[in-house]
Structure 1
Amino acid sequence: MQLLNTEQQEQLFRECRHRAFHLETQDGYAVEDEVEALAKFLETGEFEYDPEWAHWDNLMREVTSSGRMVQRVRVVTEPHADYTRFLYATTQSNLDAGEDIRWLPRHAIDPGELTTDDWWIFDENLVAFTTFEPNGNLGGFAVTTDPRIVRYCLSVRDKTWSLAIPHQEYRAER
């Protein structure tokens, strides 16, 4: 596996020809540029878009406006953790940038059919596992093209995507 820096991670999206898919399995993340927005959300229940996030949204617009798909399945515990409620509130900006996001209640899938890792799969031939630093911050992508790992992640993608509920139909009050 190779660990990618931020520029290399972004290049994966730019080089993606058809589909980028993200599986998110954690009920909370330590994302440095979300700390203030999360604290405010937990205090007030209101979400305020942070202009620092525009870089990601612009990258997603670049990818999706060319006809390529960016999809996510967020596997979540119900009732929701604080971070999941925050994530739900932030999702509209992802949708506006062209992402297709679905929610999968953790109890709706057999744990044996799911990974505990977060990862992206690009064009059905490259998996980029999300790495985390000891403090919980995102550490980067560890990529592989190992056919066995790719096939396994494709099967998890297909299973979770088929079971997950589109954002517009999913209710956050769960």
Structure 2
Amino acid sequence: MRLLTSEEQEQLFRNCRRRAFHLEVQDSYAVEDEAEALAKFLETGEFEYDPEWQHWDDLMREVTESGRLVQRVRVVTEPHTDYTRFLYATTGSNIDSGEDIRWLPRHAIAPAELTTDDWWLFDDDAVAFTTFRPDETLGGFAVTRDPKIVEYCRTVRDRVWPLAIPHAEYRITQ
């Protein structure tokens, strides 16, 4: 596996021919560019869109408007963590940019049917694992095309996608 630069990460999306799928299994993330918005959300209960996120939304719009799918399943613990509530509040901008996001309560699937890592599966032939630094901040993507790993992630995707609840139907709890 090789750790990708930011530019290489974006190229994975641009080079994707049909489908990019993301599995998220953490209940919280230490995302540096979300820290201020998260703090405000926890203080006020209201989400304020950060213009720094526009780059991601533009990339997703570029991909989805060309007919390619971008899908996510967020596996979450109930009752929800503060971060999950924040993530739920931010999801509207992802949906507006064309992403199809679903939620899967952790109790609805056996742990052995998931992975413990977050990853993106691109066109059923490359997996980009999300890496984390020792301080738990995001480190980037490490990509592999190993056919056994790709097949395993495809199997997990095909298991979780039909179980997950579309964002418009999922309700967040306090």
Sort the TM-score into its range (normalised by shorter chain): over 0.9
Aligned twin of 2:142: 142
**What are the within-5 Å matches in structure 2 for residues 123-134 of structure 1?**
123-134=123-134
Deviation at 1:55, TM superposition (A): 0.3
Deviation at 1:23, TM superposition (A): 0.2
Aligned twin of 1:73: 73
Deviations 1:92-122 (A, max 9, x none): 0000000000000000001110001000000
TM-score normalized by structure 1? Answer: 0.99
Tell me the secondary structure at the aligned position of residue 35 of structure 1. helix
Aligned twin of 1:25: 25
Q: Does 1:90 align with 2:97?
A: no
Deviation at 1:16, TM superposition (A): 0.1
Provide the rounded CA distance (Å) in 2 between the counterparts of 1:116 and 1:165.
Answer: 20
Query: Structure 1: which 5+ residue stretches go unaligned?
Result: none
What is the one-letter code of the residue matched to 1:99? Answer: E
What is the one-letter code of the residue matched to 2:80? Answer: H
What is the one-letter code of the residue matched to 2:43? Answer: E
Provide the rounded CA distance (Å) in 2 between the counterparts of 1:21 and 1:64.
Answer: 12
The number of aligned residues is 174
Query: Structure 2: which 5+ residue stretches go unaligned?
Result: none
**What are the within-5 Å matches in structure 2 for residues 133-172 of structure 1?**
133-172=133-172
Q: Aligned residues: percent identity?
A: 78
**What are the within-5 Å matches in structure 2 for residues 38-57 of structure 1?**
38-57=38-57
Tell me the secondary structure at the aligned position of residue 162 of structure 1. coil
Provide the rounded CA distance (Å) in 2 between the counterparts of 1:140 and 1:4.
Answer: 7
Provide the rounded CA distance (Å) in 2 between the counterparts of 1:170 and 1:53.
Answer: 24
Structure 1 runs (4+) greater than 2 angstroms displaced: none
